[in-house]
Amino acid sequence: MPSDESLSLSEFLEKHPSFTISDVPTSQMGSDGCVLVASDNDSQGNASESDQHDGTGPTGTHNQGGMESERTGAAYERFTSNALPGDIRYDHYNNSVRAHCSVHGHRCRWHRTLNPKEDVPAQGRPVAALCCWLALGRTCKTSTEHRALKHDDVKDDAMPLLERERFRDWVDRQKSFRRLTRELERKRRPGEGIEPHNCP
């Protein structure tokens, strides 16, 4: 039986047909399964991007006193699955998401906006691509190699439409990602498939 590290993305999805939310304390979980995290500087509302997002633990437990049980006041929401090597965090302040890779550490991440832009058709709908990128972390030996896959000149080849469509089909069926994909991410444009043709 091949290890997860040697599987293609399609094979990985076939091996893991039923992904589930990570086992996190219920006090840190919203009603829909997302994890809510507040930053150290949340009360001031002026934290830098790096301060707002990076916790020392998987759920930002460096700031247990500031953990929120409600969305109001949280710096970001964390969406995760046991089978994805990392998580996706929604930033309330600038309407963006960032994938954090758990294979290579907290500096291995990919940030995308959820704001649509008419002259960039794919922009605003990046969740499937971020899930795809996280899964690719299993195939990369270093953070540098993994982060290189998100560059504009290689990302369409690294994360082709067919693979992103498979991740889109999966993520759209996950209760733990429902708020992210149904409420926060850009809706499909008229005539657009389930996933943008180009990688967001």
Q: How far is CA 44 from CA 40, 84, 126, in A?
A: 9, 33, 29
Would you place residue 111 in the very low, low, confident or very high pLDDT band (cuts 50, 70, 90)?
very high
Residue 122 is encoded by which pair of tokens? 């794919």
Give the CA angle between residues 72, 189, 81 to the nearest 5°. 50
Q: How large is the average pLDDT for residues 178-190?
A: 95
Residue where the block lists tokens 């067919």: 162
Max distance between CA atoms of the chain, in angstroms, equals: 52
Reported as a single tens digit per residue, the pLDDT across 51-90 is 333 332 233 322 222 223 234 455 889 999 887 999 999 9
Residue 6 pLDDT > 90: no
Q: Is residue 104 within 8 Å of 137, Cβ to Cβ?
A: yes
Percent of the residues in the chain that have a pLDDT greater than 70, as a whole number: 63
Q: What is the pLDDT of residues 189-198, one digit of tens each?
A: 999 999 999 9
Query: Contact, 125 vs 112, CB < 8 A?
Result: no
Question: Considering only CA atoms, which of 18, 17, 13 is closest in space to residue 165?
Answer: 13
In this structure, are residues 81 and 20 in contact, taking their beta carbons and an 8 Å threshold? yes
pLDDT of residue 106: 84
Q: Can you tell me the distance from the alpha carbon of 123 to that of 96, in angstroms, rounded to the nearest whole number?
A: 11
CA 16 to chain centre: 18
User: Nearest to residue 53, comparing CAs of 12, 89, 20?
Assistant: 89
CA gap 76, 35 in Å, rounded: 9
* pTM (2 d.p.): 0.68
User: CA dist 65 to 84, 154, 200, Å?
Assistant: 28, 42, 36
pLDDT digits (tens, 9 = 90+) for 124-174: 999 999 999 999 999 999 999 999 999 999 999 999 999 999 999 999 988
State pLDDT tens for residues 96-107: 999 999 999 989
